[in-house]
Chains A and B, each alone.
Chain A
Amino acid sequence: MSEAIFRLRNLRKEYQRRLVLDISYLEIYRGEILVVVGPNGSGKSTLLRLLNFLEPATSGEIEFMGHSIPPGAPVGLHLRRQVTMVFQQPALLNRSVLANVSYGRKVRGMPAQNGAMTRLLERLGLASLAGSHAPNLSGGERQRVALARALAFQPAVVLLDEPTANLDPYNVSLIEGLIRDLNREQGTTMVLVTHNVFQARRLGHRVAFLLNGQVVEIAPAEQFFTAPQDARTRAFLNGELVW
């Protein structure tokens, strides 16, 4: 787990001259599960959006799979297609579960369905729902469809923005299990944003604490939770208000 798939250097993002992200240096290793925790408004979702190339940084550099991408520079489709994101609120197509899950495959010119995808649907308990109208599903089912859709084309990196927020324990367990299994079996790099420190501990190989757009501390999960170095990290983990 030593090769970096992402390298962020002096990365800054401003919205209307308000600095929301300011990362001097961050490496994300190939095949790891990096969990990013932090209070509301700390820049977690912005970080994921920049990693997904959904919007450009204001300044700095993102290096992805050895390619340097300056702010505003066009990102090649072949690179962009290596990363995908599961949003906190899944935006599903007004179509069947199968049409949603196969979307990423179809835009890549891949067959709509293959054995791996069938197994994925079964694993997520979606096989019997394949023909159902996706927007009519429950919250947990919708989030599972979103996750299946992101994994169906086997990207190198999956970004997860609080994928289990507002889900019941069964769905949380199912999704966490899949994240863990796919990371282990396929070596998919996962960057997970969550408010749930217990989930961070359960899933993360490394955990980063983001505060006011800056990485305060990043460490292997066990060390992060048992021996945090920074006082602000300790305060956050203790549930104290952090500014």
Chain B
Amino acid sequence: MRRRRFLFAGDSAAGQPAQEEAAIDTLLQGLRQAVHLILSLDPEVLEIAGLSLRVSGTALAISVLLGVPLGAALGLRRFTGWSFLRLMLYTGMGLPPVVVGLFVYILLSRNGPLGALNAALIPRLFTPAAMITAQTLIIFPIVTGFTMAALLGVDPLLRQQLFSLGATPWQATLTLLVEARAGIAAAVAAGLGRALAEVGAVMMVGGNIAGETRVLTTAIVLETSKGNFDVAIALGLILLAMALVINFVILQLEERFFRPL
């Protein structure tokens, strides 16, 4: 990856117009660099983007597999402790990533409650598995909470109407999930967005190790701190492009395949 240091005009004695010119130049350089990095299939960028996709994708898949059924159950049923669970869930939706990162770091560190077990299934710190764990903890409440809210938004009479029309509980639940599909797609998209954009927790538990745990967001932080703004912008654009493509796929799936019975 070509690295180039940019000096803003503000760093020297130049005036305001020169600063603006330099900033625009940086942006344009960033765009050019992004196109170049994408078209040249830069191996380092591909590796970083691939790891981002793998970590965020796995965290999202786990969160969707667990969160959508749980959110559906919470949206369709009332039981003792339901309000408390909802409160916890909504609080979880606003969890600061660094707090999650700290929590996972302590749990997985060599002397931590889980790390000390040294078991095969327990992820080790500074590995992609630790990053997946942290991201899952961050986005699981988002996917679950939005799914619950989507189902709470479906006309309550509709569920009774479906039973009245002869649907089994499973058929009725499936139909209601399809009815709430726009909200559930939004839940998945929000979870994906949070995972892809997340930097604090993955930095803490992943360590931003080149070739090991460096993902797009941590690479952007690193390149920015080094003054390689064009590379940072290029990585940012790649991140945005990934989000765009994945969200496009999610919406296509929502529109084409989740049809009611």
Residues of A that sit less than 8 Å from B by CB: 52, 54, 77, 80-81, 83-85, 87, 89-95, 99, 103-104, 106-108, 149-150, 153
Chain B residue nearest to A93 in the complex (CB): B260
Report the tally of A-B residue pairs with Cβ distances under 8 A. Answer: 54
* Interface pair A54/B160, CB less than 8 Å apart: yes
The stretch among B13-21, B121-129, B167-175 that forms the contact with chain A is B167-175
CB distance from B170 to the nearest CB of A (A): 10
Which residues of the other chain, A, contact B179 by a CB distance below 8 angstroms?
93-94
Q: Are B260 and A99 in contact (CB under 8 A)?
A: yes
Min CB distance A144 to B, Å, is 15
Give a binary string over B155-175; 1 marks a CB under 8 Å from any A CB, 0 the rest. 101101111111110010001
Q: Looking at the assembled complex, report how far the CB atom of A109 sits from the nearest CB atom of chain B, in whole angstroms.
A: 10
Q: Please, which residues of chain B bring their CB within 8 A of the CB of A104?
A: 165-166
- Beyond the given A89-B157, A107-B165, could you list 11 further A-B residue pairs with CB under 8 A, ordered by the A residue number? A80-B163, A91-B158, A91-B160, A93-B158, A93-B175, A93-B179, A94-B179, A99-B260, A103-B162, A104-B165, A107-B171
Contacts of A93 in B (CB 8 A): 158, 175, 179, 260
Q: Which residue of A52, A95, A106 contacts B164 across the interface (Cβ within 8 Å)?
A: A52
Residue of A nearest to B174 (CB): A107
A153, chain B: closest CB distance, angstroms: 7
B157 touches A91 (CB 8 A): yes
Docked CA distance A104–B167 (Å): 7
Residue pair A85, B164 in contact (C-beta under 8 Å): yes
Inter-chain CA distance A81–B261, complex, in Å, is: 16
Complex A-B, nearest 7 residue pairs according to Cβ-Cβ distance, in ascending order:
A91-B157, A81-B166, A91-B158, A104-B165, A91-B161, A85-B164, A107-B167
B164 x A103 contact (CB < 8 A): no
A92 contact set on B, CB distance < 8 A = 158
Instruction: Report how far A106 CA is from B165 CA in the complex, Å.
Output: 10
Determine whether the beta carbon of A103 is less than 8 Å from that of B261: yes
Is A103 within 8 A of B260, CB to CB?
yes
B26 CB, min distance to chain A CBs, angstroms: 47
Question: Which of under 10, 10 to 19, 20 to 34, or 35 or more describes the interface residues of B?
Answer: 10 to 19
Complex CA–CA separation, A87 to B157 (angstroms): 9
Residues of B close to A77: CB separation below 8 A: 166, 168
Query: A94 CA to B181 CA in the complex, in Å?
Result: 11
Report whether B260 and A153 are in contact in the complex, using a CB–CB cutoff of 8 Å.
Answer: no
Pair B167/A54 contact, Cβ less than 8 Å = no
Q: How far is it, in angstroms, between the C-alpha of A239 and the C-alpha of B260 when the chains are bound?
A: 46
Q: Could you tell me the distance between the alpha carbons of A77 and B168 in the complex, rounded to whole angstroms?
A: 8
The residue in chain A whose Cβ has the minimal distance to the Cβ of B158 is A91
Complex CA–CA separation, A153 to B164 (angstroms): 12
Contacts of B175 in A (CB 8 A): 93, 103
B160, B161, B166: the one within 8 Å of A153 (CB): B166
Residues of A within 8 A of B171 (CB): 107
Interchain nearest-CB distance for B66 vs A (Å): 26
Q: Of all chain A residues, which has the CB nearest B160? A: A54
Are B164 and A107 in contact (CB-based, < 8 A)? Answer: no
The answer to whether A87 touches B168, judged by C-beta atoms less than 8 angstroms apart, is no
From A52, A94, A107, B168 is in contact (CB under 8 Å) with A107
Q: With the chains together, A99 CA to B261 CA distance in Å?
A: 8
B166–chain A nearest beta-carbon distance, Å: 4
- Mark B243-261 against chain A: 1 for CB-CB distance below 8 A, else 0: 0000000000000000011
A199–chain B nearest beta-carbon distance, Å: 22
Give Cα A87 to B158, complex, Å: 10
Which of B158, B165, B260, B261 has the most A CB atoms < 10 Å from its CB?
Answer: B165
Mask: chain B, 166-200; 1 = CB below 8 Å from A; 0 = not: 11100100010001000000000000000000000
List B contacts of A108 (CB < 8 A): 166
A91-B166 Cα distance, complex, nearest whole Å = 15
Pairwise interchain contact A103-B163, C-beta atoms closer than 8 A: no
CA A100 to CA B161, docked complex, whole Å? 11
Q: Which residues does chain A contribute within 8 Å of B167, judged by CB atoms?
A: 103, 107
B158 proximity list for chain A (CB < 8 A): 91-93
Complex A-B: 18 CB contacts under 8 Å: A54-B163, A77-B166, A80-B163, A81-B166, A85-B164, A87-B160, A87-B164, A90-B161, A91-B160, A93-B158, A94-B179, A103-B165, A103-B260, A107-B167, A107-B168, A107-B261, A150-B165, A153-B165
